Structure 1
Amino acid sequence: MKKVYVIHENSEWTIHLTKRLEELEVPYEEWHLDQGTLDLSTEPPEGIFYSRMSASSHTRDHRYAAEFTAQVLGWLEAHGRKVYNGSRALQLEISKVLQYLVLNKHGIRTPRTVAAVGKEQILEAARTFEGKAFITKHNRAGKGLGVQLFQTFDALRLYVESPAFEEPVDGITLIQEYIQAPESFITRCEFVGGRFVYAVKVDTSEGFELCPADACQIGDLFCPVGEEIEEKPKFQIIEGFNDPILKKYEEFLSANGIQIAGIEFIRNANDEIYTYDINSNTNYNHEAEAKAGKYGMLELAKYLKAELDK
């Protein structure tokens, strides 16, 4: 019997999808790839395959999950199996440098970014921002890993030379211009089947790159932000969102074989959009969806069911 095979390393982020697949009576099987074996002399089972491998897998003691998944995806694709969010999606998931290069290729503006390996090189890169505020982040990230806001070079130097410095898992730290938004929020656009589903307004007053699944909160050691206002929801679905950027995003996803993604952007004071993150292992916030009556995992389950039925 043909199935939907869900490839992942974090059951907490996948259970919401499998529940929807069960509701729709879609046969499925989970492949949890934090470890395993791959016999290259065998052929994959029949069915379709959907990868939810995460760039932050190493933070859950699954250090080589992404690397192993890359080999499994290559095996599936070599045998002609239909893979959703396949090898190319994983390449972009684990490298923001590649994300920005490909986004720029499609005419999508990203913040000025310098990649650096080594503490002295990080400091050298920061000097090129000429007194402007900037942020650091990990090249292979997820959950806002390594995201810090710095107003001065000296603040960065103190951080880099302190025990609090976070070494990126791939050794690459990004120094990126800080886009000052008129209000403390970013917008996250969700896509299923390469098509826009909805946009979410995400409150960033407590940090950057909040994850819809677990509301990851990344503080700034040297530039503390304000306290959370309890009544203000972190995630709000924007009714009737429409912007020309959506067409560019859909073209970008199609060109790179990415079917499911959350893409985040921020607007500056001149209303210019800067795109800074692609999440091919996207999650959805339950409270925001319940208020809006829109459900990302349900749309995803419907999409996978229709693809399996083909």
Structure 2
Amino acid sequence: MTTDLTILYEHPAWFVPLFAALDRRGVRYEALHLSDHRFDPADPKPPSPVVLSRVAMSSFLREADHAIFYAEALFAHWSACGARVINGAEVIAVDRSKARQLSLIAGLGLGIPRTRIVHRAADLPAAAREIGFPLIVKANIGGSGAGIVRYQSADELAQSIADKTTPESVDRVLLVQEYIPARDGIVTRIETLDGKFLYAIDIESPADSFDLCPADACEIGRGPGAIGMTRADPAPKLIDAAERIARAARLDVGGIEVMIDDRDGTAKFYDVNALSNFVAKPLDVLGWDPHEQLVDYLEAAIAAKRT
């Protein structure tokens, strides 16, 4: 091993700030692009003592030959060979399944949108009758708002099924979920590191846009002012809940998304995202750069592997 840290990534632009922070700190790392990667399952040597996953669940939008399931197998192998894999195979298994995320969150006694899980478009109407309209149909593996459609009525859903325009998920699993009117149109994303609160932002999006990715690269093509992002100070009970979710999901670094149901004021947690690109223009929004804390965490992981 010639490096202390290996970073597996998919998107070529999202991690420039992370690489810059590592360079400033003099961390010996190698960045490997997943599209060009292969591994030998009989090779017992991981590439470095510490591995960081930067696998985006939205990668299927950019490449038909995405690496979501490949990365899960790769990280399981490297972990078995002794590497400390940050956001490894167990985390990907949760990150790639909104159904598993909701089960985990509900199991902690926290609020989630009323949901039914199906694996065939033909089963959507029966699930919809249990949920009621308006509702959304959501792909189990999504990202950047992909695979989410709102339906106002049973007739509209039936027509979509007949036209074969309902969402599709790369794993064939779909969620039928009540439409939650978010208070003030705001979703709060609570970022965690090592199971602890790092920062939070309120994300405000016009109309029914479901693409609320806060990173710089996600802004491309939207036009100015498409979404609003401000620093948030969530109530302690929301922070505590997000930390509990992160620990239960074994999430090393990642965001938990929650909205306040405008109908009754209850918190509804609905998404666990293990790919924290962090907020665009963090110095403007937060007043500090969370990449520095992430590098602290990585350096501590490297030091622990040396002892």
**How many aligned positions are there?**
299
TM-score (norm 2): 0.89
Structure 1 counterpart of 2:171: 170
Q: Which residues in structure 2 correspond to 1:123-272 (within 5 Å)?
A: 123-130=125-132, 132-162=133-163, 164-206=165-207, 207-213=209-215, 214-215=217-218, 234-238=228-232, 240-269=233-262, 270-272=264-266
- Give secondary structure in 1 for the equivalent of 2:182: coil
Note the C-alpha offset of 1:19.
1.2
Query: Residue 105 in 1 paired to residue 107 in 2?
Result: yes
Structure 1 counterpart of 2:290: 296
Note the C-alpha offset of 1:252.
2.8
- The answer to whether the Cα contact below 8 Å between 2:138 and 2:167 also exists between their aligned partners in 1 is no
Q: Supply the distance in 1 between the matched residues of 2:176 and 2:169 (Cα, whole angstroms).
A: 13
Distance 1:291 1:25, change over 3 A: same
- The answer to whether the Cα contact below 8 Å between 2:58 and 2:143 also exists between their aligned partners in 1 is yes
Note the C-alpha offset of 1:166.
3.6
Q: Supply the distance in 2 between the matched residues of 1:184 and 1:216 (Cα, whole angstroms).
A: 19
TM-score (norm 1): 0.88
Q: Percent identity?
A: 26
Structure 2 counterpart of 1:87: 89
- The answer to whether the Cα contact below 8 Å between 1:9 and 1:62 also exists between their aligned partners in 2 is no
Q: Supply the distance in 1 between the matched residues of 2:167 and 2:176 (Cα, whole angstroms).
A: 14
- Give secondary structure in 2 for the equivalent of 1:182: strand
Unaligned runs of 5+ in 1: 220-227
Q: Supply the distance in 2 between the matched residues of 1:66 and 1:231 (Cα, whole angstroms).
A: 31
Note the C-alpha offset of 1:237.
1.2
Q: Supply the distance in 2 between the matched residues of 1:232 and 1:141 (Cα, whole angstroms).
A: 20
- The answer to whether the Cα contact below 8 Å between 1:85 and 1:258 also exists between their aligned partners in 2 is yes
Single out whichever of 278-287 and 83-92 deviates more from structure 2.
278-287
Structure 2 counterpart of 1:222: none
Kindly provide the CA deviation profile for residues 1-42 of structure 1, in whole angstroms up to 9, marking residues without a partner as x: 442111121122222211111111111111222243211222
Distance 1:133 1:14, change over 3 A: same
- The answer to whether the Cα contact below 8 Å between 1:51 and 1:83 also exists between their aligned partners in 2 is yes
Structure 2 counterpart of 1:281: 275
Note the C-alpha offset of 1:164.
4.1
Query: Residue 25 in 1 paired to residue 19 in 2?
Result: no
- The answer to whether the Cα contact below 8 Å between 1:34 and 1:62 also exists between their aligned partners in 2 is no
Note the C-alpha offset of 1:69.
0.7
Kindly provide the CA deviation profile for residues 91-131 of structure 1, in whole angstroms up to 9, marking residues without a partner as x: 0111001111111112222111112222221122112223x
Query: Residue 73 in 1 paired to residue 75 in 2?
Result: yes
Note the C-alpha offset of 1:47.
2.0
Kindly provide the CA deviation profile for residues 228-268 of structure 1, in whole angstroms up to 9, marking residues without a partner as x: 9x668611112x43321222322332233211011101101
Kindly provide the CA deviation profile for residues 160-205 of structure 1, in whole angstroms up to 9, marking residues without a partner as x: 3336444221112211011122311110001122211111100122
Distance 1:74 1:159, change over 3 A: same
Distance 1:63 1:152, change over 3 A: same
